[in-house]
Amino acid sequence: MRKAGIRDKVGLILMSAASFMPLASLKASRLDRGSPFFLWDLPPEGLLIIGSLLALILLSGVAYARFGRDIGRYLSPRILWSLMPAALIAAVSAAGAGSTAPEGARLGLGAGFWLLCAASLILTGRDGVPNSALLAAGASLALCAYLGLMDDLSIYRELVSRRTVFLSEVANHMKLAVLSAFAATVPGVLLGYWCHVSPKARRWVMGFINLMQVIPTLSLLGLIMLPLSYLSRQLPVLADLGIRGIGFAPAFIALGLYCLLPVTANTLAGFSGVDRKALFSADAMGMTGRQKLIRIQAPLAFPVIFSGIRTALSQNIGNATIAGLVGGGGMGTLIFLGLSQAAPDLVLLGALPVILMALLLDGFLGYLEKRVRMAVLHTDD
Amino acid sequence: MAAPVLPVGMALHSYATVPGGRHVAPIRGIKPGWLNYRYNLPMAVEWNFREGENVKTRLLVSLLVVALAFSMMGGCLTKKESKAPVVVATMLDSEGGVLGKAIVLLLRAKKIEVTDKVNFGTPDILRKALENKEVDLVVDYTGSGQYYHPEDATDATIWNDPVRGYEFTAKLDKDKNDIIWLAPAPANNTEMIAVTRKFSEENNVKDMRAFADYVNSGKPVKLICAAGFVENPMRLIGYEAAYGFKLTNEQLIILSSGNTAEMLKALYEGTSGVNASLVYGTDGALDQMDLVVLDDPEHVPPVYLPAPVIRGEVLRAYPEIEDTLKPFFESLTLEVLQKLNSKVAYEGKDAAAVAEEYLKANGFLK
């Protein structure tokens, strides 16, 4: 028998705990709190769907133990766990179809559902969720939507009723977060290098950047809006370029300022961390200052700087929600609209893509970082 | 920048070249041409192998190029058309959604080009955007004039009169900011107090006088409302003075924002013993949650009529906007607005669909 790792234990404990939480609730209308129902309240066909998936997982697990390998590449017990979210949705929608609810009634997904999904995703991998599992989960959920199994879900209805806005806001959000992070990279790296060469500058620059970081986002936006609207009124050219006190520009600047800390701090750390011996050797070889910078310091500091940029991008995806309050667009528009209407599912519809975007971007940059590290340092760690 | 193609991976990889043309042994682990080892990047080749070049200039030039690229990117993203479309923006709530989408549809039907910024932001942001010419046409409420022109709004009684309050705000905005208030809707979206129908019937509380008697009799009361409502002499303090009652801090639940959806939910579900709530006159939930708005015979709070507000410059460019919007806004009574808001907030329908349905049913749109 294979020993269960700590991740598996956490996953299994989470799963058993989540089984006793409300799976979903039947809401008479959008703002209704709804009557919750549990796993054991599901109709027989719903239990059958979940039960057969569990049986399949068990079967492939037994086969694994018996033959010492997976029965098929895509039938390993781990990968099968990724089908659980879709199975749960199918089961919940079967419950919805069985009830005699009035027009406009909908199903809100409960804590039990989200935790069961999280637990099954934890169980898909030994360390981290493998790409194949994510792909399988995504594909099975898309199939659910195609088959109409999601039509009664509250969050899906919110999506359908504003799908055009949703897509444009996702694009807006991405644009705002990624562009402002990239725009902050150049000054961030230059400031970091300046801090490295001049201890005097370090005190002032790092002090300023740390100050930026502790100002609450909304206050920073307010602080930026005042000089920006003054500037755009004095210089109409700026206003024509889209740089005004409200909308894209203040959000862009505020997010860029927040990105300075990780980029600058990591640049400083990267340059400070370069091995002195390498620098001494370079001196001994007669390298000039700029040769040392370009051939030795920059390549050695690069991986650290890159992870700073990665941190900046991930935090930016989350921070960009605040743009919704100042007309900058993004997922914040949906979240704040949901809050103003006390509609939790609309808030969720705004928040889930933000999480997904942050995770996907972070994964992609992690992959890129690995490649760059290999290319620059010729090492794999 | 064209780079000289060098025999990558040959002798150059084992020896670093330093100024003066001397050859020295390579440092272990770091190979010259660090980026071109795997990826044949011309910049790295140049930097590493051209002697006597001015790296500083090169660095400056490339930085300049990057900066230029970014500014051009920014310029493209927010490019302005020469013939500007009308930018329609509204507040971030259900009513802002429906009224904004209806305005967009009506203007488009008149072949006016529109930029849709419906659900733009919070009220103060929206007003600032209008003053800064970021947006052209918004939906605002007549009573807000007291905040826009506080130095002139000395006579508080005009805000209790729908006509005087509207005319006062419209005149000041036109003279000072060249902002025009068009015909308002006859629906007072003001701050009232609501109770559940059950509570109203059990305690025979139908208006504020009865509510004051109920409070003074010492029976349990818990009012949920916004911080701005409590501290304002024209709101709760005004109600208390006009009807002769006083709520203690223990009888209040104060939320920081004026988000009534949250409050009405608490009232409807009786969370924390809440039995009275702040409500806006056109709130969609009133219709659905079976709530009773308490009558206010003394007219304590200011009148808030929703009205389209447009920049003078834009109205002069498109004078037909005034007559296009007038009949639509005049059709919006309190009940109509409650119904429209309820469809968005309660049934979860798309604001644009609700607006279109209403416009078609009432002949404003073919």
Query: Which H, E and C letters describe chain A, residue by residue?
Result: CCCCCHHHHHHHHHHHHHCCCCCEEEECCCCCCCEEECHHHCCHHHHHHHHHHHHHHHHHHHHHHHHCCCCCHHHCHHHHHCCHHHHHHHHHHHHHHHCCCCCCCEEEECHHHHHHHHHHHHCCCCCCCCHHHHHHHHHHHHHHHHCCCCCCEHHHHHHHHCHHHHHHHHHHHHHHHHHHHHHHHHHHHHHHHHHHHCHHHHHHHHHHHHHHHHCCHHHHHHHHHHHHHHHHHHCHHHHHCCCCCCCHHHHHHHHHHHHHHHHHHHHHHHHHCCCHHHHHHHHHHCCCHHHHHHHHHHHHHHHHHHHHHHHHHHHHHHHHHHHHHECCCCHHHHHHHHHHCCCHHHHHHHHHHHHHHHHHHHHHHHHHHHHHHHHHHCCCC
- Residue B78's pLDDT is what? 52
- Residue B131's pLDDT is what? 86
Q: Which of B59, B95, B120 to probe the A interface (max A CBs under 10 A)?
A: B120
Q: Closest approach of chain B CAs to the CA of A154, in angstroms?
A: 9
Out of A62-66, A98-102, A262-266, the most confident range is A262-266
B108 at A interface, C-beta within 8 A: no
Q: What percent of chain A has pLDDT over 90?
A: 22
B122 at A interface, C-beta within 8 A: yes
Chain B residue numbers with beta carbons less than 8 Å from the beta carbon of A158 are: 348
Rounded distance between C-alpha atoms, residue A244 and residue B132, angstroms: 8
* Listed residue (B292, B299, B287, B293) closest to B345, CA to CA: B287
Q: Which of B177, B346, B354 to probe the A interface (max A CBs under 10 A)?
A: B346
Chain A residue numbers with beta carbons less than 8 Å from the beta carbon of B75 are: 241-242
Is pLDDT at A5 greater than 80 in this prediction? no
Chain B residue numbers with beta carbons less than 8 Å from the beta carbon of A156 are: none
Question: Closest partner residue to A299 among B34, B125, B285, by Cβ?
Answer: B34
Rounded distance between C-alpha atoms, residue B362 and residue B332, angstroms: 11
Question: Closest partner residue to A248 among B25, B31, B78, by Cβ?
Answer: B78
Q: Closest approach of chain B CAs to the CA of A177, in angstroms?
A: 14
First to last CA, chain A: 31
- Residue B257's pLDDT is what? 76
B23 at A interface, C-beta within 8 A: no
Query: At A27, is the pLDDT very low, low, confident or very high (cuts 50, 70, 90)?
Result: confident
- Residue A325's pLDDT is what? 81
Q: Which residue has the tokens 């990968």?
A: A79
- Residue A106's pLDDT is what? 83
* Region for residue B60 given its phi and psi (left: phi exceeds 0; alpha: psi -120 to 50; beta: otherwise): alpha
The answer to whether the CB atoms of B128 and A229 lie below 8 A apart is yes
Planar angle of CA A345, A350, A353, nearest 5 degrees = 115
Phi, psi (deg, nearest 5) at residue A89: -65, -45
Q: Which residue has the tokens 């579900």?
A: B269
- Residue B23's pLDDT is what? 47
- Residue B11's pLDDT is what? 38
Contacts (Cβ under 8 Å, ≥6 apart) of B11: none
| HSE (side-chain half, CA atoms, 13 Å) at B202 | 7
Q: Closest approach of chain A CAs to the CA of B258, in angstroms?
A: 9
- Residue A6's pLDDT is what? 82
Question: Closest partner residue to B262 among A175, A240, A342, by Cβ?
Answer: A342
The answer to whether the CB atoms of B348 and A161 lie below 8 A apart is yes
Q: Tokens standing for B27?
A: 């440092």
Out of A189-193, A227-231, B259-263, the most confident range is A189-193
Is pLDDT at A274 greater than 50 in this prediction? yes
Using alpha carbons, list the distances in angstroms from residue A359 to A71, A318, B360, B362. Answer: 31, 11, 44, 48
The answer to whether the CB atoms of B32 and A295 lie below 8 A apart is yes
The answer to whether the CB atoms of B353 and A295 lie below 8 A apart is no
B214 at A interface, C-beta within 8 A: no
Q: Which of B78, B95, B262, B356 to probe the A interface (max A CBs under 10 A)?
A: B78
First to last CA, chain B: 60
pLDDT by position in tens, chain B (length 366): 444 444 444 334 434 444 544 444 444 444 444 444 444 444 433 344 444 445 566 667 777 777 777 666 655 555 444 457 899 999 888 889 999 999 999 999 999 999 888 888 888 888 888 888 888 999 999 888 888 888 887 777 888 888 888 998 999 999 999 999 999 999 888 888 999 989 999 998 888 999 999 999 988 999 999 888 888 888 888 899 899 999 998 899 998 877 788 888 889 888 888 999 999 888 877 777 888 888 888 888 888 999 999 999 999 999 999 999 999 999 999 889 988 988 888 888 888 999 999 999 999 987
B366 at A interface, C-beta within 8 A: no
Mean pLDDT of A308-333: 88
Chain B residue numbers with beta carbons less than 8 Å from the beta carbon of A247 are: 129, 134
**In the 8-state DSSP scheme, what is residue B266?**
H
- Residue B1's pLDDT is what? 45
The lowest-confidence range among A29-33, A202-206, B51-55, B151-155 is: B51-55
Mean pLDDT of A314-320: 91
| HSE (side-chain half, CA atoms, 13 Å) at B330 | 9
B78 to chain A: closest CA residue: A242
A228 to chain B: closest CA residue: B132
* Listed residue (A187, A131, A168) closest to A312, CA to CA: A187
Question: Closest partner residue to B261 among A157, A288, A340, by Cβ?
Answer: A340
- Residue A73's pLDDT is what? 55
Mean pLDDT of A99-103: 63
Q: For A108-163, what is each residue's pLDDT tens digit?
A: 888 899 999 989 888 887 767 777 888 888 999 999 888 888 888 888 888 888 88
Chain A residue numbers with beta carbons less than 8 Å from the beta carbon of B27 are: 278, 281-282, 285, 296
